[in-house]
Chain A
Amino acid sequence: MNPINYLYLSALLFTIGGAGVLVRRNAIIVFMCVELMLNACNLAFVTFARLHGNLDGQIIAFFTMVVAAAEVVVGLAIIVTFFRSRHSASVDDASLMKL
C-alpha cells in the first residue's frame, strides 16, 4: 500500500483533533483532542521515516509519547484542581476575567 495514504490519515486525525479543541466545551475532551493531534503527528513521523528510509522519525515518535505522558500528568492535575473548585470542567465556566 502506498505510504502516502497514511499521511492523509494523519492529516485527517490532526484536523479532527484541532476541530475538537475549537468546538468542544469540556476541558477533558479538549485535552483528549490535543492528544489526538499529537498521535496524528506520530503517525506522520513514522510514515515519513518509512518514506525516507531513516530512523529519525521513529525515534521522534518515542519522544512525543514521553512528552504526551508528561503533559497528561500536568494537564490532568490542573484540570482536576479546576474541577474541584467549580464542580464543572466546562471551559465556558472559565470566564471570571471577562471584561
Chain B
Amino acid sequence: MTGTIHSLWTTAADSATPLDKIPTPKIEYAQLSPVLIVFGAAVLGILVEALLPRRSRYIAQLGVSVTGLAAAFAAIVALAADGYASAKSHIAAMGAVAVDGPALFLQGTIVLVALVAAFTFAERRLDPLAHGRRVDSFAAQGSTVPGSEQEKRAVRAGFTTTEVFPLLLFAVGGMMIFPAANDLLTLFVSLEVFSLPLYLLCALARRHRLLSQEAAVKYFLLGAFSSAILLFGVALLYGYAGTISYGGIADVISGTAKMTPALANTTANDSLLLIGGAMVVVGLLFKVAAVPFHMWTPDVYQGAPTPVTGFMAAATKVAAFGALLRLLYVVLPGIRWDWRPVMWGVAIATMVIGAIIAVTQTDVKRLLAYSSIAHAGFILAGVIALSPDGVSSVLFYLAAYSFVTLGAFAVVTLVRDAGGEATHLSRWAGLGRRSPLVAAVFAVFLLAFAGIPLTSGFAGKFAVFKAAAQGGAVPLVIIGVISSAIAAFFYIRVIVLMFFSEPQPGGPSVAVPSALTSTAIAAGVAVTLALGVAPQYFLDLAGKASVFVR
C-alpha cells in the first residue's frame, strides 16, 4: 500500500508524466449560468460599494441586485425550457453540481424569494426620518456600539449599510448551489457560503441592536458547531466510500462499485457509514430547524432585522430541504431501513413540539418561528415518503410556504410604534378595526399557514400528507393532521385578536409602505391564492421536476 500512496506524488525519474497530460477540468458555463450571474452581481455590488460615492450606492445596489436576480431567473427558465429539468439533466463541473429538475425548481424558487426579499431590504419609508434622511431597517454602521456617540455621528452623517445587498446575493448564490451540490465537498462549501452572509445580516438591525447582535452570536456559534458536525460526517462518509461524489458513495453502499483492498477494509464496518450519514443529516436538520436541532430558531428569528428574518425563514428552508432530499434520495437510499425510523421520530417531534410551543408564544416573530418549525415537520413527512410523489410534494410545499413566510414577515415590518416594530401580540389587538387591509392580508397568510382550503397551505399539506400516506406512513399523517389542528388554533387566535378585540389606546400605528414592500406583500398574497385556487398546474410542474440525476 505504501507503494500506491507514494506513486501519487512521487514518480520514477525515467517515466515522468509531462505536465501537459493533466486533463483540464471541463466547466459547463451555460448550465451553471444562474449561479454565476448571481455571484457576478454580488461581486459587482462589492465594486459599487468600493467605488461609488455614498449617496448613489443605494440605487446602484438595488439595481444590480434586482437585475442580477431577474437575469438568474431568466437563465433558470431558459435551462428548464431547454430540457435540463428532464431529459437533458446532467452533472456539470466535473461532477460537482447537478443540473436537474429538483435543482432548477428549487433554484427558481430561491431566486424569486430573494427578488421579493430584496424589495423588503430596500424599504425606506417605514422608519421616521433620521436627520431629514430616509433610512432602512439596517444599522447606520454595523461596527458602532449601540447608543454610543459614534453611532449618533454615523446616523447624523446619514450612513446606511448598503452592503446588505451584496451579502444577500452571496447568500443566494450559496443557497442555489446547496440543493444542487453533487459531492460532499460542494455541499459543505456552499453551506458556509450561504451561512456566513446570513450571520452578518442578522447582526445589522437599526432598532434593537442588542437583540440583533445577540441573535447573530447565537446563530453563528450554533451554526458553526453544526457545520463542524456535518464536516466530520463528510469525513466519515469519505472514509467509508473512498469518494465524495454522491453517485460514487451510493454505488459503494449498494455494492456495485469496483472493490479495492482499501475499500474492502473500510466497508467491512458499517459504523463509518451509519455515523457519517447521521452526522451529515444532523447538520442539515439544524439548517431546516427540525426538533431537536431547533433551539436557535426563535431567538434568531426574533432578533434579526425582520426583512432578513423573512428571507432567512423562506430561502434557507428551501435550500436545506433541497440538500436533504438529494442526500437521502441519491446517496443514502441504500440504507433507508436505517434512516427512515429516525426521520419518522424527528418529523413527529418537530410537528408536535413546534405546534404546541407556538401556542404559548406572545411575540409575533417568535410565533412565526415556532410555526416555521412545525412546517419543517410537515415537509419532513413528505421527505420520508421516499417516492417521486414525495419529491414533488416537498418541492410544491417549499414554493408555497416560502412566499407565505416572506409576506407574513413583510406585514410584521408595517405594524410599528415609537420603539420600532410592535411585535408583542397584545399590541396587535384590534388591528383589524384600525387597518382592515393590513389585518386582512395578515389573516390570509395565517390561514395559509393553517392550511385552510383555497390557500396554498392547504394544497401543499394535502400533497405532502398524500405522498406520506402512500409511502406507508399513515400514523405519521394522523399525527400531522392533529398537530395541524393544534397549529390552526393559534393562527385563528391571532385572527380573532386582530378583528374581534378592542383596539388598545395608544396602540401601534400601521406605517404606509412604499411600492417596494407593497410589491412584496402583493406577491405573497398572489402566490398564496394562485397556488391555493389552481394548484394543479404547479403540482404538475413540480411533478415534472421530481427526478434526480445521478
Identify which of B145, B185, B231 gathers the most chain A CB atoms within 10 Å of its CB.
B231
Query: Which of A40, A52, A60, A63 has the most B CB atoms < 10 Å from its CB?
Result: A52
**Across-interface contacts of B473 in A (CB, < 8 A):** none
Structural contact, B302 and A97, CB atoms closer than 8 A: yes
A84 near B145 with CB under 8 A, answer yes
From the candidates A30, A53, A78, A97, name the one contacting B8 in the complex (CB within 8 A): A53
Known: A38-B231, A96-B210. A56 touches B221 (CB 8 A): no
Residues A70 and B196 in contact, CB atoms below 8 Å apart: yes
Taking CB as reference atom, which chain B residue is nearest A66?
A: B189
Contact for A52 among B185, B221, B263, CB less than 8 A = B263
Q: Which residues of B lie under 8 Å from residue A48 when comparing CB positions?
A: 235, 238-239, 242, 266
Question: Per a CB cutoff under 8 Å, which of A10, A17, A18, A94 touches B218?
Answer: A94
Chain B residue numbers with a CB within 8 Å of A86 are 210
Partner of B221, one of A30, A37, A40, A51: A30
Beyond A34-B224, A63-B189, whether A81 also contacts B203 by CB under 8 A is yes
Set B210, B231, B266, B302: member contacting A64, Cβ < 8 A:
B231
Contact of A74 among B200, B238, B265 (CB under 8 A): B200
A9 close to B (CB within 8 Å): no
Q: Mark A42-64, 1 if CB is under 8 A from B, else 0.
A: 00110110111111110110011
Which of B4, B189, B228, B239 contacts A17, CB < 8 Å? B228
In the bound complex, do residue A56 and residue B211 qualify as a contact, i.e. CB atoms below 8 Å apart? no
Within 8 A of B (CB), among A56-99: 56-57, 59-60, 63-64, 67, 70-71, 74-75, 77-79, 81-82, 84-86, 91, 94, 96-97
Q: Given that A27-B221, A56-B244, A60-B185 are known contacts, is A37 also in contact with B213, CB under 8 Å in the complex?
A: no
Chain A nearest CB: distance from B213 CB in Å? Answer: 5
- Pair A85/B189 contact, Cβ less than 8 Å: no
Residues on B with C-beta less than 8 A from A10 are 235
Interface code A1-37, partner B: CB below 8 Å = 1, 0 otherwise?
0000001001000100110010000010011001001
- Residues of chain A lying within 8 A (CB to CB) of residue B4: 53
Q: Can you name the residue of chain B whose Cβ is closest to the Cβ of A95?
A: B214
A27 near B217 (CB under 8 angstroms)?
yes
Q: Kindly report which residue of chain B lies nearest to residue A59, judged by CB atoms.
A: B185
Q: Which of B230-261 contact A (CB under 8 A)?
A: 231-232, 234-236, 238-239, 242-244, 260
The residue on B at minimum CB distance from A44 is B235
Once A37-B232, A74-B220 are accepted as A-B contacts, the answer to whether A85 and B244 lie under 8 Å apart by CB is: no
Complex interface: chain A residues within 8 A of B8 (CB):
53-55
Q: How far apart are the CA atoms of A54 and B242 in the complex, in Å?
A: 8
CB neighbours (8 Å) of A78 from chain B are 199-200, 203, 213, 216-217, 220
Q: Which of B203, B232, B262, B302: most chain A Cβ within 10 A?
A: B232
Inter-chain contacts of B234 with A (CB < 8 A): 41, 60
User: DSSP majority for the A interface?
Assistant: helix
Q: Are A67 and B188 interface neighbours, CB within 8 A?
A: yes
Check if B209 is an interface residue, CB within 8 A of chain A: yes
Bound Cα distance A10, B145 (Å)? 40
Q: A21, B211: Cβ atoms under 8 Å?
A: no
CA distance A21 to B429 in the complex (A): 42
Minimum CB–CB distance from B424 to chain A (whole Å) comes to: 12
Q: Is the CB of A74 within 8 A of B217?
A: no
Given that A56-B244, A97-B214 are known contacts, is A70 also in contact with B209, CB under 8 Å in the complex? no
Contact of B211 with A31 in the complex, beta carbons under 8 Å: no
Nearest CB on A from B88, distance (A): 28
Measured between beta carbons, the chain A residues less than 8 angstroms from B209 are 85
User: Which A residues touch B143, using CB under 8 A?
Assistant: 81
By a CB distance below 8 angstroms, the chain A residues around B302 are 97
Asked if A85 meets B146 with Cβ closer than 8 Å, knowing A48-B238, A60-B244, the reply is yes
Contact B213 A81 (CB under 8 A): yes
- Is B166 an interface residue when CB atoms closer than 8 A count as contact? no
Judge if B299 is at the interface, Cβ distance under 8 Å.
yes
Q: A21 — which chain B residues lie within 8 A by C-beta?
A: 221, 225
Residues of the B chain whose Cβ atoms lie less than 8 Å from the Cβ of A94: 214, 217-218
Q: A85's contact among B200, B210, B242, B262, by CB below 8 Å, is which?
A: B210
17 A-B pairs (CB sep. < 8 Å): A14-B228, A30-B221, A51-B262, A52-B239, A52-B260, A53-B8, A54-B8, A56-B244, A60-B234, A60-B235, A67-B189, A71-B192, A71-B224, A75-B221, A81-B203, A85-B145, A91-B217
Taking Cβ atoms with an 8 Å cutoff, the residues of B that contact A are 1, 4-5, 8, 142-143, 145-146, 185, 188-189, 192, 196, 199-200, 203, 209-211, 213-218, 220-221, 224-225, 228-229, 231-232, 234-236, 238-239, 242-244, 260, 262-263, 265-266, 298-299, 302-303
Closest 7 CB pairs of A and B: A37-B228, A48-B239, A52-B242, A44-B235, A41-B231, A34-B224, A94-B214
Q: 19 more A-B contacts (CB under 8 A) besides A34-B225, A50-B5?
A: A14-B232, A17-B228, A18-B229, A38-B228, A41-B234, A45-B238, A48-B239, A53-B5, A54-B243, A56-B244, A60-B185, A60-B238, A70-B192, A74-B200, A82-B213, A85-B210, A86-B210, A91-B217, A97-B299
